[in-house]
Amino acid sequence: MIVQRVVLNSRPGKNGNPVAENFRVEEVNLPDNINEGQVQVRTLYLSVDPYMRCKMNEDTGSDYLAPWQLSQVVDGGGVGIVEESRHSHFTKGDFVTSFYWPWQTKVILDGNSLEKVDPRLVDGHLSYFLGAIGLCGLTSLIGIQEKGHITAGSNQTMVVSGAAGACGSLAGQIGHLLGCSRVVGICGTQEKCLLLTTELGFDGAINYKKENVAEQLRELCPAGVDIYFDNVGGDISNTVISQMNQNSHIILCGQISQYNKDVPYPPPLPPAVEAIQKERNITRERFMVLNYKDKFESGILQLSQWFKEGKLKVKETMINGLENMGAAFQSMMAGGNIGKQIVCISEEASLPSL
């Protein structure tokens, strides 16, 4: 059977911006037979995420991320449906997910690399398993629980950068749900600012491209900042840290402003900002959600419950077609997405009645 896949066509260079042409689509033959322990799946949805920028370099700068290889199929979060199984845990029609899903229309995988998902947890929105009811939701929830130190009723203020993105749009809502009294988001367009305050329950929003972030923070966070959910790093983060309170906490989720630069992760702070961090005893520890797998199951159930109760609003930017994976990645890295950037590869044939 002939299937399509996406391979890494070229590397952008450690300091370069990724472009769609770094990827190419090619056809490949899928074997007719699968071996014991394997399953054949049809890909439904694929995820593009900022961390993938590191995988485009020969050296990812991280011990837990392996680089993509030139002319080899690339991979990431994916959801699909089992078409044939020779694995005892899966049968035809099961919906499954993996963090290492090849960018391919159909694929044969080791069944042990897959996890079964229950469409009822997402009211049939299977792509949510790649975002809000998946790794993005878990990153936001566990990150805030483990590193945010929220005490309900203590009038804490949280600031979220990259606030209209996959994690940021969830983090602000979760901050409120866990007891923050004030949540302010920073993003890059007026449309995103409006979304944060009218739909996602943020108390204020700052457009860093048009407004003076330091001034707006002083206005919107008069009591200072207690928790900072950092998705971007760089100048924005330096400005936020300068207005953080004594014994406050930074949740280091990502540093997208630094991913196209050859710097260590997490990038060091400028000396003046580092002095503030030390003086005010602000925690800034690296956070890796994959170190908290024991909390995944309960976290997914909590996120699903909030979603079903209407307390957690889910935003997605959906693009169709495997041939658009590169364009979707380029757009996401440039802030073109609101919420999670998803690529639909094929529609579900039929969802079970929920």
Express each pLDDT in 100-121 by its tens digit.
999 999 999 999 999 999 999 9
Least confidently predicted of 15-29, 51-65, 224-238, 274-288: 51-65
Residue at 160: amino acid letter: V
Pick the CATH number of 2-131+314-350 from 3.90.180.10, 2.30.110.10, 3.40.50.1470, 3.40.50.12500: 3.90.180.10
For 225-292, strand residue ranges (E) read 225-230, 244-252, 283-286
Cβ partners under 8 Å of residue 346, min gap 6: 42, 43, 44, 105
Asked if residue 125 lies in contact with residue 312, where contact means CB atoms within 8 angstroms, the answer is: no
Q: How far is CA 222 from CA 86, 227, 280, 295, in A?
A: 60, 14, 17, 35
Residues 158-210: pLDDT tens digits?
999 999 999 999 999 999 999 999 999 999 999 999 999 999 999 999 999 99
**What are the residue ranges spanned by the domains of the chain?**
2-131+314-350, 135-290
Our CA dihedral for 116, 120, 124, 126, rounded to 10 degrees, sits at: -30
- Please give the Cα distance from 208 to 129 (Å, whole number): 30
Burial classification of residue 308, based on how many CB atoms lie within 10 Å of its CB (0-12 exposed, 13-18 middle, 19 or more buried):
middle
- Is the confidence at residue 224, as pLDDT, over 90? yes
Pick the CATH number of 135-290 from 3.40.50.10490, 2.60.40.10, 3.30.460.10, 3.40.50.720: 3.40.50.720
206: helix, coil or strand? strand
Least confidently predicted of 33-42, 189-198, 264-273, 322-331: 264-273
- Please give the Cα distance from 301 to 340 (Å, whole number): 19
72: helix, coil or strand? coil
**In angstroms, how far apart are the furthest CA atoms of the chain?**
65
* Across 82-101, average pLDDT: 98
Our CA dihedral for 335, 336, 339, 340, rounded to 10 degrees, sits at: -100
Rounded to the nearest integer, the mean pLDDT of the chain is 94
